[in-house]
Amino acid sequence: MIAHNTPVWDDDPAWVPLAPLDGDAHCDICVIGLGGSGLVAVRDLRAHSVDVIGVDAVDVGAGAAGRNGGLLLAGLADFHHDAVRALGHDAAVSSYRRTLAELDAIFAEFPDCTRRTGSLRIAASDAERADCRAQLAQLQADGFPAEWYRGAEGEGLLIPSDGVTQPLRRVRALARAALAEGARLHGSTPVREVHGTSVVTAHGTIRCRRVIVAVDGRLEALLPELAPRVRTARLQMLATAPSPECRIPRPVYWRDGFEYWQQLPDGSIALGGFRDSGMEHEWTHDDTPSVSIQQRLETFLREKVGARSAITHRWAASVAYTLTGAPISEQVRDGVFAIGAYSGTGNVVGALCAHDAVTWAQHG
């Protein structure tokens, strides 16, 4: 039987969902959203003994952070040479450098649910092969690790500093550590409104000095002033039973990153993509899988990836995109800082934005 809208990562029966908020509360800083970004913020705040409450509409990792492809990639959503064009050389290099340092920290902190395998960007066309060459030239000119690759997957770039994670395990580990450090975390607590620095939830109001909104998909629903710059899309994935016929030592992203896959330690394959083939239908707040995208993923799985084993999981989740490709990481109202809209690549950048939000909350 196929697990419907459950990610392959949800494999820990010992996990106990967080209890809801129980009435009004006070704290110094409230973090909304307990994905990877919100939990890194909570963790950093507790490291400074800040009185913090974190709330989530559902539970830890219920959004994209626990339902993604698990690729840990250096750089922003744009490939490095595109980021240089869009942001300017110094800003792009500095961002790339920060993500490399964050990757080092993630691999060191989570040895049980990460693997530094490197990653492959494989070209789907001659034009993309030329673009891979341009990306390689820029990375090497700036002294970042990258090499040309030709192998069973095709031709393109190998980035040795990248790797993979079991994303839900990572965010649950962050939550367990935050709870052990005294953070107050609540699930099943949807925030209806942020009013000044009061966080109005379904179960009570949290009064605090500062609010960090750490929501990727549907960010513009909670903070409507961001709607002109932020748009939510649905991304979809599937996973298979162990596929010994495949040997995929590194995660692959293909066709400018629209498709991406990794082979898990037990041999199963997790594959995502084809958002663009759904056109306007995928710009939606609905986060359930659709038949048409799932069929495309299945065809690709059989014809390109070469996996023959049964499909065990199909799922989807929401992420937000910006027009520029640069994430939102800014004070949006007095006392309210928003991080999110990572344009499909938030496992590493989300942690960086969380550090920035914490710096603002303490010193800004």
Ligand X SMILES: Cc1cc2nc3c(=O)[nH]c(=O)nc-3n(C[C@H](O)[C@H](O)[C@H](O)COP(=O)(O)OP(=O)(O)OC[C@H]3O[C@@H](n4cnc5c(N)ncnc54)[C@H](O)[C@@H]3O)c2cc1C
| Distance from C-alpha of 157 to C-alpha of 143, rounded to nearest angstrom | 15
| Distance from C-alpha of 200 to C-alpha of 212, rounded to nearest angstrom | 14
- The correct pick among 29, 46, 70, 146 for binding ligand X (CB under 6 A) is 70
216 touching ligand X, by CB under 6 A: yes
* x/- letters, 126..165, toward ligand X (CB under 6 A): ----------------------------------------
64 touching ligand X, by CB under 6 A: yes
Interhelix angle 80-87/89-109, nearest 10 degrees:
130
215 touching ligand X, by CB under 6 A: yes
Tokens 């009061």, located at residue: 198
* x/- letters, 88..107, toward ligand X (CB under 6 A): --------------------
Tokens 């052990």, located at residue: 180
191 touching ligand X, by CB under 6 A: yes
Q: Tell me the two tokens of residue 99.
A: 């993500």
Q: CB of 233: closest distance to ligand X in angstroms?
A: 9
Q: How would you classify the pairing of strands 311-322 and 3-4?
A: parallel
33 touching ligand X, by CB under 6 A: yes
| Distance from C-alpha of 338 to C-alpha of 357, rounded to nearest angstrom | 8
Q: CB of 20: closest distance to ligand X in angstroms?
A: 11
Closest CA to 288 of 4, 68, 67, 1: 4
Segment near ligand X (CB under 6 A), from 13-21, 152-160, 330-338, 340-348? Answer: 340-348
- The helix (run of H) or strand (run of E) holding residue 67 is none
Site residues (CB under 6 A) for ligand X, limited to 341-360: 342, 344-348, 350
Q: Tell me the two tokens of residue 327.
A: 């994430």
The angle formed by the CA atoms of residues 45, 50 and 55, to the nearest 5 degrees, is: 70
36 touching ligand X, by CB under 6 A: yes
Q: CB of 37: closest distance to ligand X in angstroms?
A: 3
Q: Which residues of this protein are in contact with ligand X, per CB under 6 A? A: 32-38, 55-58, 62-65, 67-71, 73, 190-191, 214-218, 222, 235, 237, 260, 272, 317, 319, 340, 342, 344-348, 350
